[in-house]
Amino acid sequence: MPSGTALGAGSTRRYFGTDGVRGVVGEDLTVELVERLGKAATLWSGRGRVFIGRDTRGSGPELEEAFARGVVQAGGNAVLAGVLPTPAVALLALDLGVVISASHNPPEYNGVKFFDRDGHKLADAQEEEIEALLDAPARGGGSIDRIDVATDSYLAHALERFGSDLSGLRIAVDCANGAYSGLAPRAFEELGAEVVAIGDEPDGTNINVGFGATDLAALSHEVVESRCDLGVAFDGDGDRMLAVDGNGEPVDGDQIVAVLALAHGVDLVAVTSMTNLGFHRLMAERGIRVLTTDVGDRYVLEALHREGGVLGGEQSGHIIWLEGHKSGDGLVAALLLCAAVEGRSLAEAAAVMPRFPQVKEDVRVSSRALPQAILDEAEALNHALEGGGRVLVRPSGTEPVIRVLGEAETAEEAARLCATIATLVRRELG
């Protein structure tokens, strides 16, 4: 069982964070930077056929065009697919796959995510190589193509490989006013489910606002009000999925991975340092080996590829299933979860995993570099807890905050642990 050893920030990358390049449009993320990224990434890829999708943010079209201009400057071929979930881009990547998206972040944010020609997220060293090419001279001679069949190709793949008969199931589907709008409800309907769709009317300004995997309140209300069997919520670009049971109670990524692990009889799962201690306890009881990585679904993916595993995920809703896929996929995770429930209620299926209370706090800071004093205090606390609880402190990869987690067998003890470290962070970095 992991102790929750504190993590520091060791990357030398200037623009890349936990998942690509991300920031507030016009401030941290400018049109010029995105154009330079297009040129640099195309030069780095070696061949230059770049498949590009985006989510529903209002800034998306302008940034998509900027990235495409960069591809052209590098002599590449930009293939623009329009609004498309991130996992679809991973499946359809050419020499490079790119998504203009800030995932679960608010509408004022946007970003650029990258996949290599095999549909894998880039390693830290590869991102550093791209940054080194930002000021490389342009070659010119590239081209831009636009296609409109990518959505249908992705949907057909998802239903054929991961669909099951959902007749008789009444499901609420929250699309976060993002890339799955229209697409995810259609998928469940084609499998026979009765669908109640919410967060399904994107207007460029409402992605992740009051809907989606970052805010389950609307979905919980809809499930109870419409008497649904369960609900699923995606984030804006579709690589995250969380669920709500028939009572309106949230089911997080740890519980979803646990349900899938038992349903599919896997012998190995990969999760992150945020994963609940109750998950580790259940996996130990069932003889399933657990790999624990740093926070970020790409680290989970790296661990699965390294160890030959197929299932992994994050508490936040990145669920990864690699038989027939290449990355985390919100829709695929939802389809697998519906199949794994197998006649039970979702509440019954999820109850197999005990949950330790967790208390989290994001401390806003001017510097995300963690002093050794904070790391030492966290380590001392974890040593004293002897596996009966833990603290975790880490810098966010996408925001100017330090994330603090306290976990214990009681909510009171978890809150005390979290407050101890959060107070120290504010004193040292506030």
Q: Alpha helices of 26-73 — where are they, by DSSP H? A: 31-45, 60-73
Of 45, 59, 101, 103, the active-site residue reads: 103
pLDDT tens string 326-364: 999 999 999 999 999 988 999 999 999 999 999 999 999
Strands (E), 258-388: 268-272, 289-293, 311-313, 319-321, 358-364
Closest among 323, 330, 328, 327 to 119, alpha carbons compared: 327
Least confident of 8-12, 238-242, 407-411: 8-12
What b/e string do you get for 226-251 counting C-beta neighbours within 10 Å, with b at 16 or more?
A: eebbbbbbbbbbbbbbbbbbbebebb
Q: Is the model's pTM score more than 0.85? A: yes
Least confident of 7-16, 103-112, 118-127, 271-280: 7-16
Q: What class is the 16-148 domain?
A: alpha beta
pLDDT at 6: 36
pLDDT at 1: 57
Question: d(Cα 72, Cα 60) in Å, to the nearest integer?
Answer: 18
Ranges for all domains in the chain classified under CATH 3.30.310.50: 358-429
Give mean pLDDT, residues 57-86.
Answer: 98
Give the CATH H-level superfamily of domain 358-429. Answer: Alpha-D-phosphohexomutase, C-terminal domain (3.30.310.50)
Architecture of the domain delimited by 152-350: 3-Layer(aba) Sandwich (3.40)
Least confident of 121-125, 212-216, 395-399, 426-430: 395-399
The whole-chain average pLDDT of the chain stands at: 94
Ranges for all domains in the chain classified under CATH 3.40.120.10: 16-148, 152-350
Give catalytic status of residue 220 as yes or no.
no
Give mean pLDDT, residues 75-90.
Answer: 97
pLDDT at 8: 37
